[in-house]
Structures are given as structure tokens and as C-alpha cells.
Amino acid sequence: MKHPSPAIVDNATFRNHGGHVIRASSRVRNAHPTRLKRCERGERRLRGTGHWDTIHAGVACIHCSVHVTNFRWNIINMKRIAAATVGLSLLCAHAVPAQQFPAKPIRIVVPFAPGGPTDIVGRIVGQRLTESFGQTVVVDNRAGAGGVVGADLAAKAPGDGYTLLLCSTSAMAINPSLMAKMPYDSVRDFAPISLIVTIPYLLLVSAASPIQSTQELIALAQSKPGQMTYGSAGTGSTSHLAGELFKSMAKIDIVHVPYKGSAPASTDLIGGQLQFIFDAVAVALPLVRGGKLRALGISTPRRSQLVPDIPTMAEGGVPGYEVTTWHGICAPAATPRPIVTTLNHAIVKGLTQPETRQRLAGIGAEVVASSPEEFGRFIKSELQKWSRLIKESGASAH
């Protein structure tokens, strides 16, 4: 008897009439069929009838690895059906969500505790998305490891647009170089949607200090190498790295003193134990306006609309200096492009509203809406900048 040539089917799985689950292996040629084999799972038997094409060796029950023959299906036809089904499913997976999205509530993972600036940004964005889509948007606070816990959760979520991440400087740009091992890749594992805000930093001295400008501070540090100290919210914090960037670009020798948060650092600065610090605008402004601290410069390329009377660091003699904390919205990498576009349009529209800008200005944030492509390039540039600086400073998470 001449047996038909075996079909070439890779990684295809079928269930036959006797309950066996059959997987066709890769190329199988010129094997002899057998009329009776036993599947050891449940002692069931598969009996051939001779009415269908014979499956040759290389087709086995995936539960027991015993080869099974006389499988009642035409493999060639099955292969064609499977290919058509896969193609249709892929088409539907990308076309249908764009038309129906969103069809259920959306979750924004905020990788920091409730109540802080990051949480406020997340809730403002969530409110605007709710208004745009008519769907509930839930803020899910998942704090830990400088934002890594929440970012990792979002990176591993389904790429369907229903889980978003409020991504930030620390989780996306600083921690990858600061930590020895990261559970995600900031570029590969996320689909950027839009940059939301940047929050600038201020160079601060005590109001009782004789230093009146950034130039004066640099001159004094150059005259006393290794003697002037600056404080930060902790090793690896943005305020620490802002000081290291200042040290590198101004070519001065200064000593870093880490604290457990920015508040105790500000207290020691006011008390004269430190010479200067960098701190976020929203945190520092009350102390500046209260007459306890003096702002020498702001860490943005242009003067901020929030504090237009404070000169930039470039004006103070450090051209090219720029440090901000930023927040944006990302999705898991597998999120279809039409859904990314839908989310981007809704977010950008919400950020143009005067009320949104006013609320964000209240936490010292400047609105910076962007396209997904612009945000992706921005993340890459931030990774490169902080990686270089962290290596130069020798900072680590330990």
C-alpha cells in the first residue's frame, strides 16, 4: 500500500475523536503507519477506520508522547484552515479594538504613594480621560523601589490599552543605570503615549547666606575645593544628580550629603549646615516666598512662567544645564498603534484645557504634551544623559 506523503505542519495541535490531543511535529517523511496505539493517559485507544488520510510517525499525543496514527483529519486541509484562522484573528486583534476602545474601565498605575505630585498628575490625567471617553479611569497606586514596582506591573500587563503607566524620570531614566538589575527595559517594554509635564528644580541657598548668584557660588566653590557641601533627598535622587551635574558642568569640587528626604536637607540649609541644595519648584517656593531660602537659578533652558524672576542656570554661567522631573503616560509594548493614537489624542486634548494647566501649575509643573514618537525620543535621550552622569558620579542604589 502506498501511503500519501506526510503534510509538513509545525507546532499544530488538534484533538481527535478519541480524546487524544495531537501535536504535529516538524518535517516527517516516509514513516509507516500503525493501526493501533495506546495513549497512557486514561488507557484510551485510538482505532483507525481507514476512511481518512493516515498520519505518519511524528504525530503524537502531547500528554504521553506516544505516537498515534490513523488520526481522523486531513492534515493538509487543517493546515489551510489554521493559517486562515490565525490571519483573521490577527486582523481582528488590531482592527476591532481601535473601533470599540475603550469598552471598559481603564487603570492608570501610579508607581508612588497617594498624595504626592506624581499621584496628583495621574489623577488629573485620569479625570480628563474619563471626560473624553465616558469610561471610568481608576488610579492604582503601587509604590516601591523608586517607581520600579509599579512600572514592572504595568510592563507585564496585557497590551490592550486598559492598563497605563504614569511613567517618570526615576522609574524610566534614572533607575536603569542606578540599580544593578532591572525587571524591565524602559525602551523595549513600553509604548510611549505622551509626555505630560516637567517639574523644574531650583538652586537654593539660605536667605542668610552672602551668596547672591550662581556665579558667586561657583567662584566660592572654586576657591575652596572639597570644602563646600550640598544636600539632597538621598543618594540617586533627582536632587542628588542635579548637584552632580552642576559639579561636572561648573568644574567644581563639592561634597554630597544625602538625607532621607528633601525636608531635612532644607532644614539644615536654613540652619547653615549646608551651603546649597537643589529642590523641586513646588517644594521650594513656599520657603523662598517665606524668606527662609534664596533661589539662585532654575534648571530649565528658559525662564519658567511659574517663577519668571528667577534666572536660568545658563544665565548664571552654566550653559546647557537642564534637570527636570518629568511625568508621562506609557502603555505595555504590545498595545496596538491605533489604541496608542486614540489615547494620545485624548490626553493632548485634555492638557490644552486652561483648568488642567492651572491645576498642574499648582504643583510646579509645566505642561508639555507630545506625540508618541517625540516622547519615545525624549525617554532615550534621558536614559543616555542620566546613565553618563551616574557613571561619572559613582552613584548606586546601595
Average pLDDT over residues 287-307: 94
Mean pLDDT of the residues in the chain: 80
pLDDT at 98 (0 to 100): 54
Q: What percent of the chain has pLDDT over 90?
A: 63
Using alpha carbons, select from 68, 42, 36, 37 the residue that is nearest to residue 55: 68
- Judge if 106-195+328-388 and 199-324 fold alike in CATH terms: yes
User: Please, which residues have CB within 8 angstroms of residue 298's CB and are 6 or more apart in sequence?
Assistant: 200, 201, 202, 203, 281, 304, 307, 310, 311, 312, 313
Q: What is the pLDDT of residues 12-51, one digit of tens each?
A: 333 343 444 433 333 333 333 333 333 333 333 333 433 3
Please say if the pLDDT value at position 374 is more than 80.
yes
| Dist. CA 211–CA 285, nearest whole Å | 18
Cell numbers for 92? 481582528
The number of helix segments (H) and strand segments (E) in the chain equals 12, 15
pLDDT at 204 (0 to 100): 98
Q: What is the pLDDT of residues 196-220, one digit of tens each?
A: 999 999 999 999 999 999 999 999 9
| Dist. CA 182–CA 187, nearest whole Å | 12
Cell numbers for 292? 527662609
The overall pTM is greater than 0.85: no
Instruction: Find cell 513646588 and name the residue.
Output: 282
Confidence band of 389 (pLDDT split at 50, 70, 90): confident
Please say if the pLDDT value at position 259 is more than 80.
yes
8 A C-beta contact, residue 194 and residue 328: yes
Spacing of C-alpha 275 from chain mean position: 35
Confidence band of 56 (pLDDT split at 50, 70, 90): very low
Average pLDDT over residues 134-152: 94
User: Please, which residues have CB within 8 angstroms of residue 87's CB and are 6 or more apart in sequence?
Assistant: none
Q: Which CATH class is domain 106-195+328-388?
A: alpha beta
Using alpha carbons, select from 66, 65, 6, 60 the residue that is nearest to residue 32: 6
Using alpha carbons, select from 165, 186, 164, 166 the residue that is nearest to residue 175: 186
Three-class SS string for 363-394?
Answer: CCCEECCCCHHHHHHHHHHHHHHHHHHHHHHC
pLDDT at 7 (0 to 100): 34
- Least confident piece of the model among 18-32, 222-236, 349-363, 380-394: 18-32
Domain 199-324 has CATH 3.40.190.10: yes
* Domain range annotation of the chain: 1-100, 106-195+328-388, 199-324
Top pLDDT among 59 and 124 is at 124
